[in-house]
């Protein structure tokens, strides 16, 4: 029965292959890396699959506010992407105002903070 358990590992990313080869971890096990702060799923064929958060993407600030109000995973400080009038996506940060959710442009979107290079 113990063979059916999912094991959790905690170590450096570059050490995962060796731990898999030694049999300490196997397919369907999960590693939380110390050095890269990632969650790694070990597939049944013993490959490493990175698990990451996906940024929410919206077509307008209004659509973002409406969706974020009802989403169970919304939190203050969360980054989201919202499409601008020029068709490009910009970073916004979820804020709380008067017990409501608002989205404000991330500071990096302001002129002088950084320059976006499209290529």
Taking only the tens place, the pLDDT of each residue in 88-114 is 999 999 998 888 889 999 875 444 445
Full-model pTM: 0.54
For residue 34, which of 60, 61, 2, 11 has the smallest C-alpha distance? 11
pLDDT of residue 115: 57
The whole-number pLDDT of residue 73 equals 78
Intervals of the chain under pLDDT 70: 1-3, 108-119
> What pLDDT is stored for residue 92 in this prediction?
95
Burial 33-56 (b: 16+ CB within 10 A, else e): beeeeeebebeeeeeeeeeeeeeb
Q: Are 60 and 77 in contact (CB under 8 A)?
A: no
Scan for tokens 């060796």, then name that residue. Answer: 18
Backbone angles phi, psi at 3, to 5 degrees: -70, -20
Residue 53 confidence (pLDDT)? 74
Residue 104, pLDDT score: 93
Tokens representing 16 are 């995962």
């Amino acid at each position: 029965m113990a063979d059916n358990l999912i094991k959790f590992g905690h170590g450096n990313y570059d050490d995962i292959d060796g731990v898999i080869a030694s049999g300490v971890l196997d397919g369907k096990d999960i590693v939380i890396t110390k050095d890269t702060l990632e969650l790694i799923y070990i597939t049944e064929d013993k490959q490493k699959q990175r698990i990451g958060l996906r940024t929410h993407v919206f077509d307008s600030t209004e659509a973002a506010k409406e969706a974020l109000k009802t989403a169970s995973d919304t939190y203050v400080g969360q980054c989201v992407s919202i499409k601008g009038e020029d068709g490009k996506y910009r970073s916004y940060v979820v804020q709380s105002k008067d017990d409501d959710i608002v989205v404000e442009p991330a500071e990096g979107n302001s002129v002088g903070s950084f320059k976006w290079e499209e290529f």
